[in-house]
Structure 1
């Protein structure tokens, strides 16, 4: 009779180092271990500076102030800073420096401590500590950028896009979600402009891009904006509205349908006339204000040589100029780029009326 033998892996002994790591560095007592470490270091530095005034510079305490602000929760940080403040108040008067220099030194340390308390409160509110906490924001930004990655298009089609944030910030209120559906036979694109700009709208853009990315291809194109509007209404954001334009393009035939939710009207390049035409029809209300509304769609066909362009209001709007003037300026730059066979996106972005004061997004797809 065969016997089923199960081989068990012998557990490594729980050494002192592993116990310290499990319960001190990464476990529930981590904050206390870090606090105790900084407390011991603070005592050592203050004692050294107090014992050897002038020989051991007071500025060596500054790195401790910075590091403790990055790694300690606010309640522990304040305790460390109170001790350091008392130590500095006792130590600085003993330094062989002019009285004015001593006063400036104490003010500088006090200002640094106040700033680090603010930084610590902000970091621990989002659960990030240390030098790697920015990785969280970088990952979120990269996720937003990946949602706008263009898939491989079949022969005869070219596309380009750009999303630029206000003042070069890492997050933008404009974003795109792009995906090929129906086995790559259709291309769906949603260009969205969330209320606000830059970092103010970045978090809302991230949340909304994830939701719209999940809807893209999962619903009939005619239901996409309806579902997006219902989702945004349910969020209950104070600034809970967004404009959007959605494209469903058949890459086999060139047939397209466009839904518009309060967004600037897309434009179509006609190779026959050699000009851009504004597609004014099929515009519905902005997303996130009223549930249960419908969004009509504009339909057409792209023949060889034709193109479609979608853009955000940062391309054409400006406080000092009329909206129609901004549209004409954009169309002129785009027409010259089409004639010269240059990058339409670069031409349009470079002439944007808002400059870097607003988020800007452009998407162009052409049939060759």
Structure 2
């Protein structure tokens, strides 16, 4: 009974908060409309009274503020008042060419702002809420890919660079740590930059729910099934899924059309490509298997996962790109593993034309 009463109280409070937010938005919009209407009227009067002091361009801030903060219907009301005030100002000052030209620019700008407001309204948001939502989603994507704290004797770093410096990337990392087991998946979604950002946001949430909640060998098949259900026109993705036992150093890596993982052997001082059977890319067909490679990291060893943006070179085989990346890693190893993946991504031949991501886990 106490639990039911608590739930009822929570629901009542949530409903009250929602009603309060709706009331605040409604009154906030009404207040903004009133202020802008008064501002347009005051400017019209001031331009008529002091034509040489108050410039016609003073209407522009009012129109911009209306476009940023009002929904389309109320924006249309403010725009009509501004147009009437502008016409009145032009007639009072005389239809000079410069004044008429300024009025045309004002109307064109208001039409553009109305189109932007209508686009936001289709998403169910107004003002700068849409941008705030995207920023929040981007931050959530980055947070979900942050590496968890590792026990003493282990280190890890990751780097994700988007094409042309966009805020969103088609490459992302999702991690999960349970007891002494670390799981991570590095995903490369078809497309790049903002075009692939929305798919990355959706997949990162789904993969984050799958990671660590099922047997290791079932993750890639489950991810493949999920991607197939989306039925995207351009919905395939490659992925590398790694599981690492932080007590024994034993690891397992599965690939879905992804470049092969690389292991640093401290005994030989060389980087070794982990050759093995490669599974198909995610989102193409159902019922296929994803072979896994197993091994063990000793003291000083490391495991490297990366996307094709790090190794891809136009008109060259990917193997050449891997050799080039490993040559870069050989030169960097003398400085230690810290900062290595960031330098690898920055030194990629693809440069800013492609998304690049890499994650490195090492044992001290």
TM-score (norm 1): 0.86
1:1-368 equivalent positions in 2, closer than 5 A: 25-26=23-24, 31=29, 34-95=32-93, 99-131=96-128, 133-181=130-178, 184-319=179-314, 321-341=316-336, 343-368=339-364
User: Closer, same or farther in 2 for the Cα pair 1:43/1:25, shift >3 Å?
Assistant: farther
The answer to whether the Cα contact below 8 Å between 2:184 and 2:243 also exists between their aligned partners in 1 is yes
Cα drift, residue 62 of structure 1: 1.1
Cα drift, residue 124 of structure 1: 2.3
User: Closer, same or farther in 2 for the Cα pair 1:95/1:25, shift >3 Å?
Assistant: farther
The answer to whether the Cα contact below 8 Å between 2:163 and 2:352 also exists between their aligned partners in 1 is yes
SS in 2 for 1:234: helix
Deviates more, 1:62-71 or 1:316-325: 316-325
User: Closer, same or farther in 2 for the Cα pair 1:27/1:315, shift >3 Å?
Assistant: closer
Q: How many residues align?
A: 345
Deviates more, 1:32-41 or 1:290-299: 32-41
Query: Aligned equivalents of 2:160 and 2:21: distance in 1?
Result: 45
| Structure with greater helix percent | 2
CA offsets 1:115-162 (integer angstroms, 9 cap, x no match): 212221232233333345532222111111111111121222111111
> What residue number does 1:8 align with?
none
Q: Unaligned regions of 5+ residues in structure 1, if any?
A: 1-20
Q: Unaligned regions of 5+ residues in structure 2, if any?
A: 1-18
SS in 2 for 1:26: helix
Query: Aligned equivalents of 2:72 and 2:335: distance in 1?
Result: 59
Query: Aligned equivalents of 1:264 and 1:114: distance in 2?
Result: 49
The answer to whether the Cα contact below 8 Å between 2:310 and 2:344 also exists between their aligned partners in 1 is yes
The answer to whether the Cα contact below 8 Å between 1:31 and 1:72 also exists between their aligned partners in 2 is yes
SS in 1 for 2:213: coil
CA RMSD in angstroms, aligned pairs only: 2.4
Deviates more, 1:268-277 or 1:63-72: 268-277
The answer to whether the Cα contact below 8 Å between 2:158 and 2:342 also exists between their aligned partners in 1 is no
CA offsets 1:186-242 (integer angstroms, 9 cap, x no match): 110100011111111112111111111111110001000111111111112222111
Query: Aligned equivalents of 2:229 and 2:358: distance in 1?
Result: 28
Deviates more, 1:321-330 or 1:289-298: 321-330
SS in 1 for 2:252: strand
The answer to whether the Cα contact below 8 Å between 1:157 and 1:365 also exists between their aligned partners in 2 is yes
User: Closer, same or farther in 2 for the Cα pair 1:67/1:234, shift >3 Å?
Assistant: same
Deviates more, 1:152-161 or 1:84-93: 84-93
TM-score (norm 2): 0.87
Deviates more, 1:283-292 or 1:140-149: 283-292
CA offsets 1:270-289 (integer angstroms, 9 cap, x no match): 22222222223131111112
